[in-house]
Amino acid sequence: MDPVTAAGIGLSVTSLALQVFSGCITGYQMFIEAKDMPATYEHLRTRLRIEQTRCLNWGEKVGLLEELLDEPSQFLQLNHNLILNILLEVQKAFRSCMVVTKKYDPVAAASSRSSAIAISESHGSTFLERTLAAWRKGGRVASRIEWSVIKKDSFEELIKKLIHFNDRIESFLDRRTLDDLRQAQAQSNLMLLQVTEQVSQLRDLIAAVRLEQTAGPDMSPSFSRASTFVDRDDQMRSLASLAAFKAHALELEKATMEAPNLEIQMSDLVSLDQLRATRPVTKLKGRSVWIEWRETIADIDAMPKYKRQLADRVRALATILASPSKSPTFRSPDCLGYFLDETSRPQRYALVYSWPLGDSDLGAGIASLRDALASSTRISLNSRISLACRLSESLLHLHAVNWLHKGFRSDCVLFTAAGDRDFILSDVLISGFEFSRPALPDAMTVTHVFPVEQDLYRHPDLLDPEPARSKKSYDIYSLGLVLAEIAMWQPIEEITGIEVRRSRLYQVRERMLDEKTGIFDSIAERVGDIYAKVVRRCISGGESLGVDIGADEEDPKVGAEMQKIFHAEIVSKLRALKF
């Protein structure tokens, strides 16, 4: 039905757009739920899910909601003909990919309600349900299709067309709305990654996001849409990188692939007398490197089992941090290997990282945020907000692949420094991964004894004699303390006014959340109310992070909800700050 005919029978343009849009989403759902699809096509099904989510996010942003039909957005009013034409082309593309179209036509009435598509739990979002319900209101029910009615040789081409159509409808948006849409899609991508748990599924996801759009004569991008494609491609590359890392980590954890030998001989390192420094810079076979010390091994003869566990954990950690699939969004240094210093008492492990500046500027050093806080250096508000954004984004992506940091603190936030005051905050790295492990139910946990300065940043539940198992909300708690330090530009013990003694560690969270201390008021005064609310959310945890008391954070559904809150209420809020 064309717009003119629709107007003739009393349908508003917005109402018609909603009907056609819901037909498109129903078409997506039919193909996603196609029965008996061979495993070799699973990556295409995955890409269909991604493109359906893009279309849904777009529809929600432009106001294709039943409750808004009486007050259509200016965007819909100005672009209704173009939008309708594109949406009708989407429906046409679905029809053309089917051997039989009459019975299964997503824009035609089906004969029986009993054959309606069931919405799977993974697609049970409110807007999807409402959109499919809008389609059914007209007495139309889409049947669930069999793989046999889909044209196999046209299926991949269909998806490339859908990518193109989504790019086109997004290209009409203004820059601000497009940015909002990109944030919504990034959140959807991370939630998809969160619930994808099998290596084979992750491989399908990687293949799906790497699917290139066909650039035929009628599908080449215009100059005005250049930024749209760049943003989308960046998102796809980031998702592929995270999925590849998660798959690699799972393979290592499940011992389905052989880890390379990354053990380094201490004799290959020069200036051994300087290795006692906190983060010594040295040479490894002519290459500039820096060293980060890990746990010590005390009384090893009495703990042979612990020694083996520790060696295995260091080896696995070095392997994953040296992985070429490691996402740059983690901001972790490039690991070259590890060694055991048997000359020290007690013995201790160390991770060896490449020097971030190559073989240049060896006069510079590596400083931590903790060092900067203790100095007389004053950093601009914009630089501090930017640093807070980078750290929260890194932890968000780390959690998206189910990897816990476990030791997040200002001492592991690193940047190069030319002197005592010249800190380069834009080149931030996150170290301290020596205490990390995948957040899997059967992942091995090694108990450590930490210095009291590190325990300042640990959640109180981790300070008990028999500590709780580490989880994402504890990482986010530690992030909240670091964000508070960045806001006030003071160490956390000065902000809370406690002595750095083990008996006082439990008071950190209490004093942060105690209204009488006025800490959040002080943070709001320095960096604004929004930033202060973000810090409070991180430290409060629980329902503030979308987690019920006692909920299993390793459950994919719980993890997905946490990911949603983390992205929307922490990362996005910090990104939106402008001073």
pLDDT at 484: 98
Most confident of 2-16, 177-191, 237-251, 383-397: 383-397
Tell me which of 253, 286, 319 is where a domain ends.
253
Range of the domain at 38: 3-253
Cβ atoms 478, 459 nearer than 8 A: yes
Cβ atoms 331, 243 nearer than 8 A: no
374 pLDDT more than 70: yes
pLDDT at 128: 77
Place of tokens 């889409």: 142
Most confident of 132-136, 235-239, 263-267, 571-575: 571-575
pLDDT at 105: 55
pLDDT at 121: 39
Find the CATH number of the domain harbouring 64.
1.20.120
480 or 271: which leads in pLDDT: 480
Same domain, 343 and 447: no
Distance separating alpha carbons of residues 411 and 482, to the nearest angstrom: 10
Task: Supply 242's token pair.
Answer: 């995270």
Same domain, 429 and 541: yes
327 pLDDT more than 70: yes
Same domain, 331 and 471: no
395 or 129: which leads in pLDDT: 395
170 or 64: which leads in pLDDT: 170
To the nearest 10°, report the CA torsion of 157, 160, 161, 164.
-160
**Helix-helix angle 42-62:175-195, to 10 degrees:** 140
Mean pLDDT of 481-497: 96
Same domain, 203 and 265: no
Where does the pLDDT of residue 446 fall: very low under 50, low under 70, confident under 90, or very high at 90 and above? Answer: low
Same domain, 333 and 419: no
Task: Supply 361's token pair.
Answer: 């500027």
pLDDT at 110: 34
Most confident of 275-289, 398-412, 457-471: 398-412
Mean pLDDT of 542-569: 89
Same domain, 24 and 126: yes
Number of domains in the chain: 3
pLDDT at 1: 44
Find the CATH number of the domain harbouring 485.
1.10.510.10
pLDDT at 353: 93
432 pLDDT more than 70: yes
Mean pLDDT of 7-35: 77
Residue closest to 454 by CA, chosen among 424, 484, 434 = 434
218 pLDDT more than 60: no
Q: Write out pLDDT tens, residues 64-80.
A: 876 555 666 777 777 88
Candidate from 104-113, 144-153, 253-262, 497-506 with smallest mean pLDDT: 104-113
Taking the chain, what is the end-to-end CA distance rounded to the nearest angstrom?
50
Most confident of 75-89, 152-166, 433-447: 152-166
Same domain, 293 and 208: no
Same domain, 199 and 321: no
Same domain, 326 and 374: no
435 pLDDT more than 60: no
Candidate from 184-193, 198-207, 255-264, 504-513 with smallest mean pLDDT: 255-264
Cβ atoms 222, 279 nearer than 8 A: no
15 pLDDT more than 70: yes
Same domain, 463 and 543: yes
The DSSP 8-state label assigned to residue 508 in this structure reads H
pLDDT at 367: 86
The sheet carrying 281-284 orders its strands as 281-284, 287-297, 347-354, 335-341
Mean pLDDT of 326-334: 90
Same domain, 395 and 344: no
Tell me which of 346, 361, 376 is where a domain ends.
361
Candidate from 84-93, 124-133, 276-285 with smallest mean pLDDT: 124-133
Q: What is the 3-state secondary structure (H, E, C) of 437-481?
A: EECCCCCCCCCCCCCHHHHCCCCHHHCCCCCCCCCHHHHHHHHHH
Tell me which of 214, 236, 253 is where a domain ends.
253
125 pLDDT more than 60: no
pLDDT at 273: 58
Where does the pLDDT of residue 111 fall: very low under 50, low under 70, confident under 90, or very high at 90 and above? Answer: very low
Mean pLDDT of 289-312: 72
Q: Write out pLDDT tens, residues 522-554.
A: 999 999 999 999 999 999 999 999 888 888 898
Where does the pLDDT of residue 217 fall: very low under 50, low under 70, confident under 90, or very high at 90 and above? Answer: very low
Where does the pLDDT of residue 8 fall: very low under 50, low under 70, confident under 90, or very high at 90 and above? Answer: very low
Distance separating alpha carbons of residues 275 and 135, to the nearest angstrom: 68
Same domain, 243 and 335: no
Find the CATH number of the domain harbouring 269.
3.30.200
pLDDT at 163: 93
